[in-house]
Every structure is written in C-alpha cells, then in structure tokens.
Amino acid sequence: MKIKFDMNVAFTALTLISIVLLTIASPATAFPTMLQGVMNAITLIVKLAAIYAVWLSVLKMMQATELDKKLSKLLRPLIKRLFKNESDEAYNWISVNLAGNMLGMGGVATPAGIKAMHAMASEEQTVASANMILLLIINATSIQLIPATVIAIRAAAGSADASSIFLPTLISTSVSTLSGVILCKVFALTDKKQNKGDDKNRGLHIQNSMLNQRLRGFNTRSRKARKR
Amino acid sequence: MSVYILPVLLIVLIIICIIKKVKVYDCFLDGTRDSLGLIKSIFPYVAAVFVCIELFKASGLSSTISGWLAKPLSYLGIPSEITEIILLVPLSGNGTIALLESIINDCGVDSYPARCAAVIAGATETIFYISAVYFSACKVRKLRYAIPVALFCTLLGTVVACALCRIM
C-alpha cells in the first residue's frame, strides 16, 4: 500500500480547477480573489509575528533555565515509545510541541513543531519519514481539551446550555487522534516491510544527526571554557 | 479558573530565571528576533494555502463538491446542512467559524445540525495549513500517506461527533 501525496500536485490541481471555473463564471474576479487570499495571509502573518515574539521569548527562557530538558525527561517514556531513533534535540522539541498542544497553547506548539521537523530531517531529505508524519498527524488531529471559542459563540447566540458540547468534542478529538496514531504505526510497518533499502539511508541520517549533536555539544563546551 | 494558568506559569518561569541568573531581557530580544525569522520562512506557505482557500470558495468549487458529498455523508449520519463545514475544516479556521455562525443563524443554536457543527469546529484542526507550515524549515515536500490519514481520522471524529450529538 503506497500513497503518494505531493504538495505541488495538490496545489496546482486545486488552483487550476478553481481559476478555470472562475474564468467561466466571472473572469473579472479571478485576480482580486487571489489578491484577497494573500491579503488574508498577511493579516494572519502579522498576528502570528506578535504571538511568536512572545512565545519564542518564553521558549528562550525555558531553554536558558533548562526547563525544556526537564519537560522532555518527563515526557520521554511516552515520546520514545512513539518516535523511535531520533536525536536528543528532536526529542526536546517534540516534547515542547506536545505539551503546548495539550495545554492549548498554539503559539508555542507551532514554532516547536517546525523546529522538531527541522531536527528530524536531514539536509537534502524531500520525502517525509514515518516519525515526521506521526508528529504531523498528532498535530493535525490534536486533542482539544477546552473548545473555548466555540463555547463562547454558542453562549453569544443564546444557547440553553452552551458548554453541553464539551464532552462530545473531547470524545470526538480523542477518537481522531488515537485512530491517527494507530493508522500511522500500521502504515509505517507496511512501509518497512516494502523497502528495506530505505533503512540504510535512515541509519546514515541518525549517524549524521548524532554527529551534529556532538559538534553542537563541543561548541557550547568551548564557549563555556572561553567564558571561564 | 483556567484564565489564571498561563499568567501564573509565566510568573513561575520568570522567578526561576531570576534564581538561575538567566538574563530575561536578552531572552526576550532573542525571541522577538527569532519570531521575524520564523515569520519570514512560513509566509510563502501561509500565502499559498490562503490563495487556495479563497479560490476554492470564490469559484463555487466548495459548494459544488459539498453538494456531491451531501448524499454519501448522510448515510454516515451527518446532516446535509453541515457538509460544507466538513469540507472547509481542513483548510481554514476562520472560514470554519464563519460557517458555524451562519449555520447557527439558519437552524437555531440548539438544533441538531448546529450542535454537530459546533462539535466539529471545536474538535478539528486545519490539516492543510499545519502540513504546509510545519515543513517550512526543511525541504520535505512529499508527505506520502500523511494527508489521507489525517483526513480519514478527522472524518472518523466527525462521524463520532454526529452520533454523540444524537444521544447527548
């Protein structure tokens, strides 16, 4: 079972079909629509710049006080079981990402997730590894503990019991996350059986990231030595 | 109560910083600097996803496809009023909230479709946005089974949500 999904194919197909339809229906709106899309993206990006500025500072403080390492030690048993054979840096970022997700702090989960992906990928890797896909799926189906926005909307619309959706929401998101993790593991297993040649690359990648880590450790050590 | 969690955590963190003699001001400067770098690297991905969403909605493609899907989804117990929200959920968070509000207006806030839509809006994530942004720092473009699995699990969660709304 092999499913290929390339962002290039998806983007091209969706845009082409939409533009063709728009040109038939109302050709004057094709370009304004695309501009509107980028405009929305810029509005969001400005908001995100503010959110990340605050949260990345918090992350820096956590790194400086080595709280991120303690957090990752706490979550290590779970994470090591889910994500096998990754570098310590990747484990740290994954644990920050998962903790941020569970506490409903999207502002800290996203940057940590991006850094975790970066730590798991080698320089020239273009195909996602099983661990990268697993992290993506956990985030894409993330468990939402308190759906605050939706409850607020329902209360504003005059619902008799606005928070009655709390339990169904919790069960529904747990079902999607759990099934996601299981399916990921199944796909990873069938993948492994199909192409054992990939394993060699994978081993090389692990060696690489371990080497990088040792280098990084060496750098910080020498920096400390210089300070003294 | 939950409003206290974040500020209190932040206060604890700053106190730990003071005890461990970490420079809080420098951390803030580094964080903000990193934020602009991060924004710069994710902007193209966010823009691509948003252009897609706008075109998808404006071209009428989203309402056409939800028209096709209404019948098969109704066999899974999903009311036809909310097929468009199911289609939009993986793409855009703001779009989902806007649709939720229009469904509440049309059907009444405590009606079955409106409650289903509320659970779906609360329980799901924007899959395409996340998968574009998370890989913005590396060269990975081939996501293999990631998107189909994520979509399938979201659909599974949706079916469960609609079934639960019937009972609860």
Write out the E strands in chain B: none
Name the residue range of residue B86's domain. Answer: 25-167
Instruction: Read off the amino acid at residue B160.
Output: V
At A81-91, the pLDDT tens digits run: 889 888 888 99
Is the model's pLDDT at A194 over the cut of 80? no
Using CA atoms, how far residue A186 sits from A181, A183, A193, in Å, is 9, 5, 11
Report the pLDDT value the prediction gives residue B115, as an integer from 0 to 100: 92
The total number of structural domains that make up chain B: 1
Q: In the structure, what pLDDT confidence band is assigned to residue B1 with cuts at 50, 70 and 90? A: low
Is the model's pLDDT at B107 over the cut of 70? yes
Report the pLDDT value the prediction gives residue A176, as an integer from 0 to 100: 93
In a domain, B131, yes or no: yes
In a domain, B84, yes or no: yes
Interface test with A, best of B119, B133, B139, B141 (most A CBs within 10 A): B119
The complex scores an ipTM of 0.84
Is the model's pLDDT at A51 over the cut of 80? yes
Average pLDDT of chain A to the nearest whole number:
81
> Whole-angstrom Cα distance, residue A214 to residue B3?
42
In a domain, B82, yes or no: yes
Report the pLDDT value the prediction gives residue B152, as an integer from 0 to 100: 92
A137 with B143: Cβ contact below 8 A: no
In a domain, B54, yes or no: yes
> Whole-angstrom Cα distance, residue B27 to residue A59?
9
Q: In the structure, what pLDDT confidence band is assigned to residue A1 with cuts at 50, 70 and 90? A: very low
A156 touches chain B (CB under 8 A): no
Nearest-Å Rg of the Cα atoms of chain A is: 22
Question: Who wins on pLDDT, A5 or A94?
Answer: A94
Q: What percent of chain A has pLDDT over 90?
A: 25
Place of tokens 């890797």: A125
At A133-165, the pLDDT tens digits run: 999 999 988 777 777 778 888 988 888 888 888
Report the pLDDT value the prediction gives residue A201, as an integer from 0 to 100: 52
Beta bridge partners, A127, equal B142
In a domain, B101, yes or no: yes
Global pTM?
Answer: 0.80
3-state secondary structure of A144: coil
CA angle A44, A48, A52 (to 5 degrees): 175
CA B149, B155, B158, B162 torsion-angle sign: negative
Region of residue B108 (left: phi > 0; alpha: psi -120 to 50; beta: else)? left
- φ, ψ for residue B139, nearest 5 deg: -90, 10
Q: In the structure, what pLDDT confidence band is assigned to residue A228 with cuts at 50, 70 and 90? A: very low
B13 with A14: Cβ contact below 8 A: no
In a domain, B14, yes or no: no
Instruction: Read off the amino acid at residue A59.
Output: L
| Burial annotation A150-178 (CB, 10 A radius, 16+ → b, else e) | bbebbeebebeebebbbebbbbbbbbbbe
Is the model's pLDDT at A188 over the cut of 70? yes
**How many CB atoms sit inside 10 A of residue A213's CB?**
15
Restricting to A residues 24-63, those with a Cβ less than 8 Å away from any Cβ of B are 25, 29, 33-34, 36-38, 40-42, 44-45, 48-49, 52-62
Token readout for A175 is: 């079902």
Place of tokens 């209404």: B70
In a domain, B71, yes or no: yes
Beta-carbon contacts of B106 under 8 Å, excluding residues fewer than 6 positions away, are B81
Is the model's pLDDT at A204 over the cut of 80? no
Token readout for B47 is: 């823009």
CB A128 within 8 A of CB A143: no
B118 with A25: Cβ contact below 8 A: no
In a domain, B17, yes or no: no
